Structure 1
Amino acid sequence: MPNRPTVTVDGAAIRQLRMLAGCEMADLADRVGITRSYLSRIETGTRRQVRPRVYAALRTALEASDQQLLADHENGGEHHERHP
């Protein structure tokens, strides 16, 4: 099975941006096209790797930059793919 590209995200940053935007978890999950449970796992750090489609949808929904959403390489995160 070939490896599919993934992006390592900062779940705490995603949660903070969502809350600053006044967005409920279920609303953001709907806008991104994922389940509330999956979003919860991302925000709590249980799930750090996401597919590029999910990353792009999170970035768009939160109106965020790569610097805001990607895990910091210095803290053990790996950047597999970047989106302009």
Structure 2
Amino acid sequence: MHRPLPTFRVNGAAIRTIRMSAGLSTSETAERAGISRRYLNHLENGYRDRMRPGRYAALRTALGLNPDDQRLLARLPHEEPD
């Protein structure tokens, strides 16, 4: 049976906030991460909310985040604070 590749569910608003706080444009961030500007735009706007591990790691690095930083990840409803 075919198993889907693992993905990370990401928070587009957090991606945009961190990118803007770092003073990076979408084009600059996409280039650093090795992804298209359109793909990054889709993530930030919520049209896409999943990333494969390699792309997720590259985006995290492009934004200057360390591997333990989980701010880009979306929280599941049961993980939301009360």
Query: Fold match, TM over 0.5?
Result: yes
Q: TM-score, normalised by structure 1?
A: 0.82
> Which residue number corresponds to residue 73 of structure 2?
70
**3-state secondary structure, aligned to 1:40:** helix
Name the TM-score, length of structure 2 as normaliser: 0.84
Question: Could you list the runs of 5+ residues in structure 2 that have no partner in the other structure?
Answer: none
Query: Matches of residues 34-73 of structure 1 in structure 2 within 5 Å?
Result: 34-64=35-65, 65-66=69-70, 68-73=71-76
Offset of residue 58 of structure 1:
1.2
Cα separation, 2, equivalents of 1:16 and 1:29: 15
Deviation at 1:74, TM superposition (A): 2.1
Give the aligned CA root-mean-square deviation in angstroms.
Answer: 1.6
Give the percent of matched residue pairs that are identical in Structure 1 and Structure 2. Answer: 47
| Higher Rg | 2
Choose between structure 1 and 2: higher helix proportion: 1
